[in-house]
Chain A
Amino acid sequence: DTGVSQDPRHKITKRGQNVTFRCDPISEHNRLYWYRQTLGQGPEFLTYFQNEAQLEKSRLLSDRFSAERPKGSFSTLEIQRTEQGDSAMYLCASSLVGQSGEQYFGPGTRLTVT
């Protein structure tokens, strides 16, 4: 029984570069969430998918951010033209429709923009 996995675990990039992160949810989970967490803060909601449909997006998700879940399984989060303010931990979680909605989190991808 594997949990939520994320890849890569760490990413260092230069300002202006594009980066893409991947999240693989728990296999039977059809809900998937992305969050961003900066140092000393709680995670902030970015977006939510049910199957392949992106149903909710935060205003935090600027035009430089895009998320996809093309086949309702894994998801990708892309940041274009990275800025130093994008440095954060990016967390993914999944849950199951029809159950309690309890979310299970992956280990996160730590992004550093230099």
Chain B
Amino acid sequence: GIQVEQSPPDLILQEGANSTLRCNFSDSVNNLQWFHQNPWGQLINLFYIPSGTKQNGRLSATTVATERYSLLYISSSQTTDSGVYFCAVVLGGGFKTIFGAGTRLFVKA
């Protein structure tokens, strides 16, 4: 089956630093989303980005579908950015959604 790999698995940043999170997937996909899971377990939508580049404030994302990867950029990180970031892909032709194992981010004040 399709593999979704996220890196790095853990990341510790000083407040104000920038970071790049990566998501690699092994097959063609219809959809790709990035989520932030807060400490209470709620998954918050960041980007729906099957291809191209999008920006929302300090966050931006790029997906290169032909090379099967997506990147999430966090600039000027804040302590409230802490949590787990997941990418999720929907397989081509279906509806089954596969999540990566996540990147656990901790931003120090």
Q: Which residues of A contact B (CB under 8 A)?
A: 31, 33, 35, 37, 41-45, 48, 50, 55-56, 58, 89, 91, 93, 100-105, 107-108, 110
- By a beta-carbon cutoff of 8 Å, the part of chain B in contact with chain A is 30-31, 33, 35, 40-43, 45, 48, 86, 88, 90, 94-102
* Besides the known contacts A41-B102, A110-B41, 9 further A-B residue pairs in the complex with CB atoms under 8 A apart: A33-B97, A35-B97, A42-B100, A43-B99, A45-B98, A102-B33, A103-B97, A105-B45, A107-B40
Residues B95 and A56 in contact, CB atoms below 8 Å apart: yes
- Pull 14 A–B residue pairs with CB atoms less than 8 Å apart, ordered by A: A33-B95, A35-B97, A42-B86, A42-B88, A42-B99, A42-B100, A43-B43, A48-B95, A48-B96, A100-B31, A100-B48, A102-B31, A107-B41, A108-B42
Known: A107-B40, A108-B42. A101 touches B94 (CB 8 A): no
Given known contacts A31-B95, A56-B95, is B42 in contact with A101 (CB within 8 Å)?
no
Contacts of B99 in A (CB 8 A): 35, 42-44
User: Are B45 and A102 in contact (CB-based, < 8 A)?
Assistant: yes
Contact yes or no, A55 B95, CB < 8 A:
yes
Contact B31–A58 (Cβ < 8 Å) = no
Chain B: interface secondary structure? strand
For residue B102, which residues in chain A have a CB less than 8 angstroms away from its CB?
41-42
Which among B41, B48, B86, B100 is the interface contact of A89 at CB below 8 angstroms? B41
A-B contact count (CB 8 A): 58
Q: Give A91 to B88 CA distance when docked, in angstroms.
A: 14
| Distance, CA A104 to CA B33, complexed state (A) | 10
Complex CA–CA separation, A55 to B40 (angstroms): 30
Residues of A contacting B43 in the complex (Cβ-Cβ under 8 angstroms): 43, 91, 93, 105
Residues of A close to B40: CB separation below 8 A: 107
